[in-house]
Amino acid sequence: MKNTIFTGAAIAIITPMNADGSINYDVLGEIIDTQIESGTDAIVICGTTGEASTMTDEEHLECIRFAVQRTAKRVPVIAGTGSNDTAYAVKLSKEAEDVGADALLLVTPYYNKTTQKGLIAHFTAVADAVNIPIVLYNIPGRTGMNMDIATVKELAKHRNIAAIKEASGNISYAAKLIAECGDMIDVYSGNDDMIVPLMSLGAKGVISVLSHVIPRETHNMVQYCLDNNFAEATKLQIEYLDLINNLFIEVNPIPVKEAMNMIGVNAGPCRLPLIDMTEEHKAALRASLEKHGLMK
């Protein structure tokens, strides 16, 4: 087994925006500090939740640099550098390493989706170009393709491919993944509603959206699993299931940014093509936040 990047609850952190759509680094810094102080075990910057796909190259790299500097080695910083263009993913991954990222998160290529052999070639090209660990990201609902377990097993042989964020939502697939690859690669849940199920099978933690609004509870849920106290972990999983569901009532990160604004953190708007939530969905989200005593 390679060295584990982190064990516990990481946050797939939003990118706060000013009213004009520019990045609000002051608020980003405040969120990073609050998360670490609340027990969050790693920061994932410039992922899907961070709206990386709408960033310029300069913004993308500056966000990674900022997160590295603000975190100041308190917890690992994992930088999203995936792309459907292998050469671009290599370039961005090397730049992220240069500015101090501890690890990389690489999503499977989307739109011009490749074959399973193509996935091996794509991820290997990036892994060969860097000297920091890589977290593969399997999310077929966004990319249109699923990583075969044989593909993961082959990629896990690479010295730099250390983990996979599993977000297929398929518990049977996750069980087979851990059974066949769990001694070669760390598995993290990519879905907040499946933290306890995946950890009961041997996952090392979660890369979470829920942590934005309840970082301490998310960390505790994972820690209970790590301590083999699944009864208490399950209580938390069930207690916050309504909040988890409402944080994904529309396309991520629309609801979580709205939630942060509702609880008094100036997350600002999303960038187009993401737009404001419907009033009906806002009401459902607000009701969950109120139910759990999170509204200011």
State percent of the chain over pLDDT 70: 100
Q: What is the DSSP string of 180-229?
A: HHTTTSEEEES-GGGHHHHHHHT--EEEESGGGT-HHHHHHHHHHHHTT-
Check whether 1 has a pLDDT greater than 90. Answer: no
Q: Considering 110, 117, 137, 188, which one is annotated as catalytic?
A: 137
List the domains of the chain with CATH numbers: 8-227 (3.20.20.70)
Q: Is 165 part of the annotated catalytic residue set?
A: yes
Name the helix (H) or strand (E) containing 103: strand 103-107
Residue 21 CA to chain centroid, in angstroms? 22
Short-list 189, 191, 198, CA closest to 164: 189
The pLDDT score that the predictor gives to residue 206 is 98
pTM of structure: 0.97
Give CA angle at 223 (219, 227), nearest 5°: 175
The pLDDT score that the predictor gives to residue 30 is 98
What are 206-226's pLDDT values in tens digits?
999 999 999 999 999 999 999
Alpha helices (runs of H) in the chain, residue ranges in sequence order: 25-37, 57-71, 86-98, 116-129, 140-143, 149-155, 171-181, 195-201, 215-226, 230-239, 241-246, 254-262, 279-291
If DSSP codes are grouped into helix, strand and coil, which group holds residue 113?
coil
What are 241-284's pLDDT values in tens digits?
999 999 999 999 999 999 999 999 999 999 999 999 999 999 99
What are 129-175's pLDDT values in tens digits?
999 999 999 999 898 899 999 999 999 999 999 999 999 999 999 99
Across 20-46, average pLDDT: 98
Count, residues in the chain? 296
Q: Considering 165, 204, 257, 282, which one is annotated as catalytic?
A: 165
Instruction: Return the bridge partners of 44, or none.
Output: 12, 78
Across 16-27, average pLDDT: 97
Q: Is 94 part of the annotated catalytic residue set?
A: no
200 by Cβ neighbours in 10 Å (0-12 / 13-18 / 19+) ranks as middle
Check whether 187 has a pLDDT greater than 70. Answer: yes
Binning pLDDT at 50, 70 and 90, where does residue 296 land?
confident
